[in-house]
Structure 1
Amino acid sequence: MEWLSAENVVAVGTAVLGIVASGVMVWYERRVPRRKRIGYRVQMDNPIGDDVRSGRANRRLGLFDEDPGMVDATLVLLRIENDGSQGIDRDDYTGPEIHGLTAVFTDRTIRGVSVTQPTDADHLMDHFIPDRGFGYEGNTLRIPRVPLNRGDHFKLLVLLSGGDVGREIRLIGGIREGEVHPNRSATPDEKPPLFSRAARLISITLTLSVVTLAGIVIARDDNPPPIECASGSLAITGSTAFAPVAREVAKQYEKKCEGSDIKVDARGSEAGVGELAARGAQSKRSPSMIAFSDGPTAGESRDLEGNRVAVLAFTLVVNQGLDLGRGLSLTDVRRIYRGQITRWRQLDPHLPNLPVVLVSRNADSGTRQIFQRRVLGSWERAPSTSLDCLHKDDRTAPVMRCELDSTQEVLDKVAAIPGAIGYSELNFALGHKGLRRVPLGGAVASVQDIEYGRSDYPYRGVEYAYTYGHPPAGSLAAGFLAYLGQSVGETVIRSHGNLPCSAPAVLPLCDDDGGS
């Protein structure tokens, strides 16, 4: 009989087992609610040097004989892990300080710290910087608010002095709807079991049933791809500042969704939006194209549909030879970009007597549009007087100003030309040599300060993803936008120093268009 086929028998058996397991899990959940948990354990607490006793009890001789500050030197390896059932975000840490957790080493003094063996080095290592609270003093180590997926961990190798091994080590801090707790000691790579024997048995049985059923279904070759996956080609254009995010998300999407081909060709926000509008008007339907724009497009057509995807922070940059101290006021910046300040010494007699060189983006740049709207309050009034930023084509002009096609070109020119000033998306400027970032109105560009309302830094804006009309359901454009708002897209956006609008805490900033 047809209903007694192998597929149906396995399906019915899996369903029955699933109902029973669900009942057990409901019972379990009622007694043991799901919690967010951070566990910590000391995997090593060893002396450094030879175990030789001198006339003073318990003093070790060896590596640090000539350094009186390193008496009783020890090394501690502290593992911190998400051993709960849910992921932990930066917002889940409940302490009032900028850092998330505090490690206290009783009766010992911290001499140095190294971060080692994080689960995801590229993602986690970015958080271990002083700007995010990472540091130590005395016997106290400040640990940043590190987001940890379930099962993620990192290790801290701590050099200490002044106390013997085995002294108490405590991790202090709070997790919303969860706890921070010590785990039992373990070998360096051992992980404690997350589930009981009964839970593991149920999971293994269900897994085997599902794998068997999946094998039968796959053999029939009729299972659909995931709902956000779509095949075909998609062109992404627009913002050069957001292009690295778009490329990384596109790479992840292509890896997950077979048959998808996504090309990123950043040409500037206005140029990209203009190309999208022209192609849509020509075909009278939604083309397979997304145009990213730093801020709302100035020439927005009623046929274009904009989706807010991220909050971006931008910064003014100057050549490394200019030390502007506490930065520039908005009034100073406006005078400079009107051409009223021609030499830096006019602002401060302590500055070098170098001519001001304005290195700007072209008119298609969303970075420039946000700069004009949020900082200058008008367009850049000084005219363009140079094609190469080195030779003034109009010698009567009070100041040299050039326009370039990309953020990278602006940063390279500013780093190479003494007295040059320009602007850039913050994350690009952070990794560029030969530059100084310029505070505005006493505020430093910081994504964290913007996210948590600690700064009214003005040079920021919302990144928009434009489509021509609403992309058809099941199209590659619709699937890519949905993927951008999911966990992978959010992680990529944050890893590039931006704030995802899909995060509930960031949504008010996106609705407010960056505070404009």
Structure 2
Amino acid sequence: MMRTLTLATLAVVASAGAAHAQERITLDGSSTVYPVSEAVSEEFQKAKGGAVQITVGISGTGGGFKKFCRGETDISNASRPILKEEMEACRAAGVEYIELPIAFDALTVAVSPSNSWIKQLTIADLKKFWEPGAQGKITHWNQVNPEWPNEPVHLFGAGSDSGTFDYFTEAVVGKAKSSRGDYTASEDDNVLVQGIQNDKNALGYLPYAYYSENEKAMKAVPIVNPKGEAVLPSREAVQSGTYVPLARPLFIYVNTKAAARPIIKEYIKYYMSEEGQALIDEVAYVPLPAAAYEIADKKLDDAVVGTAFGGVPEVGLPIEEILNRETVK
């Protein structure tokens, strides 16, 4: 009896010790970046054999930065660069960060497969649908183009805490967060997928990864670029620079105190490794050139603090432009 009790006690102690030894990493933020971070986290946890527990939340880019700047998360997923007010919030809380571009997304405009009239859209067309002045006024397709049917248009898009919302409104309307409010909004891109695929009169925008997973249930719309070319979203179009202005960089921001922990540094290096790049490709985003991951790896090793952006939204940036920017606090 005494031996049984002793073994049971040892088992409890061992279990408690294992739980104590398990490392934890917390990420939150962009639903766009979520598929990448989730895939990387799953594989990294497998590789570590249960020695690390990683949680990945979906609060939207803005919501993720709020948590990050309060010191509640180790890493923030972002589908746009950090904004000035977020930089100031982090600074006020004493939170420093390393900014790491991890991939490119082809932000996708989509309609239902039963939509037979949309062959392509210009940025001017999209602005007519989405600008604040369209609220309550532009309610039918033929109000934007008389060749389109006199049918109600049902709009679907990102919620206001989403970096996708910030990027789309900057690229289309010309000012971040400037949008009509009478549309179906969600930080959960799966909600947008369901809405668009089930509604003949739907028009929406969402990250390419969510479109790619559901391309039989919805139809991507070619977007006319500044050269007058109607271009479908694709990896090739992003790499060639023809899918403008809806190609955008994706980021992770790492708290510098967290980055000093060996397990988190190892996790980030795995994220940037060939294995991580393969996962980026697997979830239908565009990996950066190999040189970009080498630069990111060095930024992590050197703990280069700050952002390569000025705290304001920027659209249509080619990969080379982002790689050659100086990082500033």
TM-score of the superposition, structure 2-length normalised? 0.72
Q: Residue in 1 aligned with 2:233? A: 445
Matched ranges for 1:331-346 at <5 A: 331-338=124-131, 339=134, 341-346=138-143
Q: Is the 8 A contact 1:461 1:513 kept in 2?
A: no
Equivalents in 1 of 2:259, 2:122: separation in Å? 47
Q: Which has the higher strand share?
A: 1
Q: Is the 8 A contact 1:370 1:460 kept in 2?
A: no
Equivalents in 2 of 1:469, 1:440: separation in Å? 39
Residue type at the aligned position of 1:437: A
Matched ranges for 1:459-470 at <5 A: 459-469=246-256
Per the TM alignment, residue 324 of structure 1 is displaced from its structure 2 partner at its CA by: 4.1
Q: Residue in 2 aligned with 1:493? A: 280
Equivalents in 2 of 1:465, 1:304: separation in Å? 10
Confirm or deny that 1:235 pairs with 2:235: no
Equivalents in 1 of 2:291, 2:147: separation in Å? 46
Q: Is the 8 A contact 1:311 1:463 kept in 2?
A: yes
Identity %: 20
Confirm or deny that 1:296 pairs with 2:81: yes
Q: Residue in 1 aligned with 2:40? A: 249
Q: Is the 8 A contact 1:276 1:291 kept in 2?
A: yes
User: Unpaired runs of 5+ in structure 2?
Assistant: 1-20, 225-229, 296-316
Q: Residue in 2 aligned with 1:33? A: none
Q: Is the 8 A contact 2:128 2:144 kept in 1?
A: no
Q: Residue in 2 aligned with 1:415? A: 197
CA deviation profile, 1:122-180 (whole Å, cap 9, x unmatched):
xxxxxxxxxxxxxxxxxxxxxxxxxxxxxxxxxxxxxxxxxxxxxxxxxxxxxxxxxxx
Partner of 1:234: helix, strand, or coil? strand
* Structure of higher RCO (CA pairs closer than 8 Å, 6+ residues apart): 2
Q: Which has the higher helix share?
A: 2
Equivalents in 1 of 2:78, 2:324: separation in Å? 17
Equivalents in 2 of 1:473, 1:381: separation in Å? 38
Per the TM alignment, residue 255 of structure 1 is displaced from its structure 2 partner at its CA by: 1.3
Q: Is the 8 A contact 2:167 2:176 kept in 1?
A: no
Per the TM alignment, residue 360 of structure 1 is displaced from its structure 2 partner at its CA by: 2.0
Equivalents in 1 of 2:201, 2:178: separation in Å? 19
Query: How has the CA–CA distance of structure 1 residues 249 and 505 changed in structure 2, closer, same or farther, with 3 Å as cutoff?
Result: closer
457-466 vs 295-304, greater mean Cα deviation: 295-304
CA deviation profile, 1:460-485 (whole Å, cap 9, x unmatched):
21111112235343432222111111
Per the TM alignment, residue 322 of structure 1 is displaced from its structure 2 partner at its CA by: 2.3
Q: How many residue pairs were aligned?
A: 264
Query: How has the CA–CA distance of structure 1 residues 320 and 353 changed in structure 2, closer, same or farther, with 3 Å as cutoff?
Result: farther
Per the TM alignment, residue 505 of structure 1 is displaced from its structure 2 partner at its CA by: 7.5
Residue type at the aligned position of 1:316: V
Query: How has the CA–CA distance of structure 1 residues 384 and 419 changed in structure 2, closer, same or farther, with 3 Å as cutoff?
Result: same
Please give the root-mean-square deviation of Cα atoms over the aligned residues, in Å. 2.7
Matched ranges for 1:352-371 at <5 A: 352-371=149-168
Query: How has the CA–CA distance of structure 1 residues 382 and 313 changed in structure 2, closer, same or farther, with 3 Å as cutoff?
Result: closer
Q: Residue in 2 aligned with 1:269? A: 61
Matched ranges for 1:143-182 at <5 A: none
Query: How has the CA–CA distance of structure 1 residues 502 and 251 changed in structure 2, closer, same or farther, with 3 Å as cutoff?
Result: farther
Q: Residue in 2 aligned with 1:426? A: 208
Per the TM alignment, residue 325 of structure 1 is displaced from its structure 2 partner at its CA by: 4.2
Residue type at the aligned position of 1:318: V
Confirm or deny that 1:403 pairs with 2:185: yes
Q: Is the 8 A contact 2:109 2:203 kept in 1?
A: yes
Residue type at the aligned position of 1:235: T
Confirm or deny that 1:512 pairs with 2:295: no
Query: How has the CA–CA distance of structure 1 residues 502 and 238 changed in structure 2, closer, same or farther, with 3 Å as cutoff?
Result: farther
Residue type at the aligned position of 1:495: E
Confirm or deny that 1:317 pairs with 2:110: yes
Equivalents in 1 of 2:261, 2:69: separation in Å? 22
Per the TM alignment, residue 512 of structure 1 is displaced from its structure 2 partner at its CA by: 2.6
Per the TM alignment, residue 510 of structure 1 is displaced from its structure 2 partner at its CA by: 4.0
Equivalents in 1 of 2:248, 2:323: separation in Å? 5
Partner of 1:363: helix, strand, or coil? coil
Residue type at the aligned position of 1:331: A
Partner of 2:125: helix, strand, or coil? helix
CA deviation profile, 1:73-128 (whole Å, cap 9, x unmatched):
xxxxxxxxxxxxxxxxxxxxxxxxxxxxxxxxxxxxxxxxxxxxxxxxxxxxxxxx
Equivalents in 1 of 2:159, 2:118: separation in Å? 29
